[in-house]
Amino acid sequence: MGGDNLVEVTDSTFEKTVEKSSLPVLVMFYSPTCVHCRAMEPHVREYAEVFAGRVLFARLDVIAGQWTAERYGVRSTPTFKFFCSGRPILELVGAVYPALLKRMVEDGLQNGKECVTHSTAVNYDITGYA
């Protein structure tokens, strides 16, 4: 079932699950009270199933995971960030057309590794993780 492919992450599990994942990761930053988040979630679950084994899909509650949301500059929900080799390389904000979300994942898979080589690595010596 698609729900099994969408992993819930927290401040304490974000580093291991997302930043150190061997797969690219799409993270949906959401709020439980966000109407647009609830509207987007079925599409995220569908794509989690479509891209299973190639992309990990995760979601983070910005109320419970304020530290991580702040660290990545999340100002509104839903915010979607595509991570490759632990680095955010693509972002969409708001209730976007589901086809745009799917295209972001496809673009991340196609061009993500090249993009990472031109970005700054995460410094794990400076961390707020427990």
Res 129: pLDDT? 53
Q: Between 3.20.20.110, 1.10.10.10, 3.40.30.10, 3.40.50.2300, what CATH number should domain 2-116 receive?
A: 3.40.30.10
> Higher-confidence residue: 118 or 5?
5
Contact (CB, 8 A) for 59 and 17 = no
Residue 115 annotated in active site: no
Of 34, 55, 58, 90, the active-site residue reads 34
- Ranges 64-73, 80-89, 114-123: which has the least confidence: 114-123
Confidence class of residue 101 from pLDDT cuts 50, 70 and 90?
very high
Choose the catalytic residue: 9, 18, 25, 37.
37
pLDDT at 2: 39
Non-local (6+) Cβ contacts of 7 within 8 A are 17, 56, 57, 58, 59
Q: Where are the domains of the chain?
A: 2-116
